[in-house]
């Protein structure tokens, strides 16, 4: 029980610290933008702020997933409890991320659909992978504190982990493809729902995908998250990981984009940013 409580504390700490960093970045950059008289209705959010929010949000996602993966692999949580925590932490992420996608596939999609300039998309992808590396190091630093038996044993084993890919590479590719395809399709189908309702739909779908495909690939369907939590694990080669966890989600998301008319899809990031601008002006 103590081990689980410590892990929950790590999750809460990661969310709170990253939320403070996001708020601080918003306050500093918004203040500078207003002071400089450069506020624009067409682009209310400064580009550096978008990149920083992406950085801190990806850091939060990866750290929390590292801790949840360690806790889930320990056997301390039953299946129902694990799925419940997955649902709750997904809701927390969706509530706190703001305009961040924490997924390079989403950045590529926005660029191809003309919703984001190439330089901004490239900058977001770079900071996402940077955050993935930093998250792995920070998680190891937290585990090295030996605040629980679970952390102590993991530290003693030099943070070794086993590949989450428990099927063939081709089957893994198909699994990650359909996970990404299902999530992207749901986002298109439920685009007109109110944000508070859509968050629950997405969280429920992510939880279901983890339940259905978790034993096969870990149900990651996010290249940068997979890079942080899986690519250093024993059991498969780097190229096999790239094939499953990078190519699979990319193909799944792009297939969903091709099957839907993007002209009818509102720019959800722009809507979120406009809402943030209204809150600042209020």
Phi, psi of 116 (to 5 degrees): -150, 135
Q: How far apart are CA 61 and CA 94, in angstroms?
A: 10
How many Cα atoms sit within 13 Å of 261 on the Cβ side? 2
pLDDT of residue 33: 57
Q: What are the φ and ψ backbone dihedral angles of 53, each rounded to 5 degrees?
A: -60, -40
pLDDT recorded at residue 30: 72
Q: Most distant CA pair in the chain: distance in Å?
A: 57
Q: What is the pTM of this model?
A: 0.87
Question: Could you give the CA distance from residue 182 to residue 162 in angstroms, rounded to a whole number?
Answer: 27
On average, the pLDDT of the chain sits at 87
pLDDT confidence of residue 45: 67
**Where does the chain have alpha helices with state H?**
2-35, 47-73, 79-96, 104-112, 118-143, 149-156, 169-189, 195-217, 223-229, 238-241, 248-258, 268-281
- Residue 269's pLDDT is what? 42
Nearest to 98 by CA among 264, 216, 268: 268
CB atoms within 10 A of CB 197: 10
- pLDDT beyond 60 at 90: yes
Residue 118 pLDDT greater than 80, yes or no? yes
For residue 145, the 8-state DSSP code is T
pLDDT at 192 over 90: no
pLDDT above 50: residue 157:
yes
In whole angstroms, give the CA distance from residue 253 to residue 188.
11
pLDDT tens profile 198-208: 899 999 999 99
Domains belonging to the chain, first-starting first, are: 2-35+45-277 (1.20.1080.10)
Gap between the Cα atoms of 34 and 17, Å rounded: 26
Q: Of the given ranges (27-36, 131-140, 152-161, 250-259), which has the lowest mean pLDDT?
A: 27-36
Classify residue 167 as left (phi > 0), alpha (psi -120 to 50) or beta: beta
Q: Tell me the average pLDDT across 250-267.
A: 74
With b for 16 or more beta-carbon neighbours within 10 A and e for fewer, the 127-147 pattern comes to bbeebbebbbebbeebbeeeb
């Amino acid at each position: 029980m103590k081990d689980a409580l410590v892990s929950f504390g790590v999750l809460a700490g990661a969310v709170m610290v990253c939320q403070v960093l996001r708020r601080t970045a918003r306050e500093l950059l918004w203040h500078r933008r207003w002071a400089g008289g450069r506020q624009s209705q067409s682009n209310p959010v400064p580009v550096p702020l978008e990149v920083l929010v992406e950085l801190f949000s990806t850091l939060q996602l990866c750290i929390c997933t590292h801790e949840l993966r360690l806790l889930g692999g320990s056997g301390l949580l039953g299946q129902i409890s694990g799925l419940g925590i997955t649902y709750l932490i997904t809701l927390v992420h969706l509530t706190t991320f703001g305009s961040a996608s924490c997924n390079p596939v989403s950045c590529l999609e926005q660029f191809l659909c003309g919703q984001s300039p190439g330089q901004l998309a490239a900058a977001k992808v770079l900071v996402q992978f940077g955050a993935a590396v930093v998250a792995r190091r920070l998680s190891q630093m937290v585990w090295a504190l030996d605040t629980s038996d679970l952390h102590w044993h993991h530290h003693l084993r030099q943070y070794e982990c086993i590949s989450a890919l428990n099927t063939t590479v081709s089957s893994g590719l198909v699994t990650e493809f359909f996970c990404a395809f299902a999530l992207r399709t749901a986002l298109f189908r439920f685009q007109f729902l109110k944000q508070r309702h859509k968050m629950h739909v997405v969280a429920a779908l992510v939880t279901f995908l983890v339940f259905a495909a978790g034993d096969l690939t870990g149900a990651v369907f996010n290249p940068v998250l997979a890079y942080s939590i899986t690519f250093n694990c024993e059991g498969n080669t780097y190229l096999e990981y790239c094939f499953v966890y990078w190519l699979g989600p990319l193909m799944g998301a792009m297939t969903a984009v091709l099957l839907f008319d993007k002209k009818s899809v509102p720019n959800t990031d722009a809507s979120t940013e406009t809402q943030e601008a209204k809150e600042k002006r209020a």
